Amino acid sequence: MKYVTKHWKVRSVIIMSVSLVVCAILWTLSLSEWAAEMNSAVTQAHDKPDISAIALGLVSLLKVTLMILIPGGLTLAITSLYKKLTLMIKTTSKG
């Protein structure tokens, strides 16, 4: 529990920053011509799916896993970069 309260403001800012960047990218993507073409495509009524129920469950599980791991990985990368930069700044300011 001690680690949860240690530097919680900095970690919260990092998580919010990564979330804002991902949201901004997705928002700009939704305004693109590609998204407009996807939205204007004529859809037909859904027939019986060609994929089995097990494969459908695995695909949905994979989707959820990726949606969790990508922001988490970005947050981990930014945190490690932040630590390296602060360590480099501290060592250069001492010498």
Residue 31: the pLDDT is 92
Residue 1: the pLDDT is 61
Which residues of the chain fall short of a pLDDT of 70? 1, 42, 95
Residue 64: the pLDDT is 94
Global confidence as pTM: 0.46
Q: Extract long-range pairs of 7-14: CB within 8 Å, 24+ residues apart.
A: 10/82, 11/79, 14/75, 14/78, 14/79, 14/82
Task: Tell me the pLDDT tens digit for each residue of 78-87.
Answer: 999 999 999 9
Residue 81: the pLDDT is 94
